[in-house]
Structure 1
Amino acid sequence: MRRVTLNFVRQKGGPGDKIMFRPPPMSRTTDPYRQDSLPPHRIAKTLAKTGIDKEFIEYQVKQFELGKRHLGNMMGVDSELMTQSDINQAIQYLFPIALFSKRSRPIMKHPDEIFPKTATLEVDENKRPKNPFFFSVNAEFSNLFFLLADAIHKCDQALKEGRRPERFLPYDPLTQRWMGEQKLSDLLNTKVAKYNMRHFNSLIRRLATHPMAADYEHLLEAFRVKTGTAGLSIEVKQQKQSLNDIEGFLESDPFDRVSIAQGAKFTAKATVELRPCKDNEEAEVTVNEKLLSEHFDYIQDREQVMFPISVTKMYGKFHVKATVEGGGRSSQSNSVRLALSRAMVPFLEDNLVEKLRLSGMLTRDPRKRERNKIAQPGPRKKKQFRKR
């Protein structure tokens, strides 16, 4: 146990003299591994971020063994034969306490049970952390989210520049699974919150369904889980065939030739699943499991949806299955048009992709509703002026 010396000083001045308590200074120079200023759960959070020092753990183990011998001497028991339950009973007998909070009760456990097992902190030659998100709340997750978001941004930029993927990476949600909460926690050596898990699943699926996902296949494989022979992820054969040849697509399994893309405008978000049609098969265009004419009543909205197909002259070549939510009819039709244009890129020639890009169909409309201002009835509207 730590010996604490209470220092009392007399404060002069004011209405009478007051005796005040001055806490003793921390002896960091004599004992650099002393952590009495923080409770165990705060030490665990700090170490989870900075990494555990081996010397610190060795010191804590020595202190645990010393305290265990002291408990054995006080209880008249051999310390070598004491288990964790015996230690808990001894502490409860020697230090009876009725505090409700468990963190306020005295505990004595092995350091491996108190301090988390984390990876060693990587530092440079100046002893500075290499992780750029070290000072964030959760450095490992922030770094992972940045890698996924940066990969998605670079894929979007490649599509805007008119680049075509060299090969197509199929995605089947029925056979491909991603890391769960426990496996991701073990990989990152940190506890995973539910909102972080939802954010991770959203980013990894968005990257996996991107037409340019083949450029980051190594990143996807790092978080993909093998689920047995029936659920193995589909292996992509590196064939040197052009993605422009739709007849070559039809010779292979049509379920392996699916393009999925997302689009948005204002608050409307759309997802389009594009499949090539087989011979003598009529193309279908559905929105939210309804025909195009049933979902969009106005002909202007239907023209907006079919504009990418009419520009590229690809009538009757694809099955279009779109899902859209949020926004109004105009924003929904524009979001479906953007998603359809992005999904068509892997199937088109370079000149047709350039045509779509010049038409502005591969770029999202950045406009948003302007927020209301303080002390105003609307974004721009002002109150009526009264001179008197």
Structure 2
Amino acid sequence: MEAVTQRFYTSNNATENESKPGGAVAEPEKISKAMKAYLERARKHDEFIQKETLEFNVGKRHLANMMGLNPETITQEDIDESIEYLFPSGLFDKRARPIMRTPSEVFPKHKAAEFDASGRPLHSMFYTTKPNFFQVLYDIVEATNLLKKKKLSSRNASMELGSPDEFNLTSSMWISKAELEQMLMEQLIDRDYNDFVAALERLVQYPGLNQVQDLLTKYSKRRMNQKLKQTIPPLEYNSDDRPFITIPNCMRKSARAEVTVLGKGSGKITINGQNILYFNDVQAREQVIFPLIFTGLSGSVDVVANVSGGGQSGQAGAIRWGISWALRSFVDPETVEKMRIAGLLKRDHRIRERKKPGQAGARKKFTWKKR
């Protein structure tokens, strides 16, 4: 985009300075209204990106000085770790957490000019309103026709081109509609994306996919290894024929607990030999009983927990996590998924934020006095 903009700028300046043979100054090259509007948008966009990039570089140096890092060699990974350290956030959605990235990653790309100075379209498919998308379909069809011809010629020559699964389709998947829109910088409808996928599916039916490897790699991505389903331990039975599950090493801050959930119970909760009143804080009691209420088993199972270390908040969090993991063996998979979405099965790794040098505490500052 910048190259296109610069080309038009220089051409205009050069035209203004040119002179006719008779000494008269040549008239400037005529530029269409569409191109003038584009050049104005491109200029404003470039100025905005340059300003944001300058502020990002200044902020990066300040951040490096705060964290004791070298401003010249600080990486994006160092920046992410520093932001996470300075601005800890308990928000579940990562998109809501504070970030610091280059403007090119934060702000959407600006589409380059699609016509020349006279207003003539540069792309042969400009009037389709989605030239980049239809160019992709055209490339896929061309690749399909190529493989089709190769297949026919190999039959006549009794040659083998290979099997259709050379691309390893099982470990790959097509890019999503949002990713395709971001790549092409064009808005697509569901029908467009379905046509795109259908064209690729027709392409991979032919042998010899190694000849169009670049095209397939561009519009596919490696299938992420799905997280193995957490193995839910089966219920064990004691001498009284009561089902139970024991979860050892339940952690929260510096607290450590061992939780046992027994079936065929009445909702009795025992913590270090005491009942739920072991916790003086009402919020800590609510944390302990929340998994039981969420799964509807508050009156049908008994809980026995032994906890040590930490305060009431940490101990309650450790017991809550242990109860949640133990209840997986007592409920159906749908309830387990609901528990996962509610955050009951996720470890809480938050710890006390350390004191900072030059400050009264982790966030607290010393009182500033002018004199």
Q: Give the TM-score normalised by the residue count of structure 2.
A: 0.34
Q: What is the TM-score with the length of structure 1 in the denominator?
A: 0.33
Structure holding more helix per residue: 2
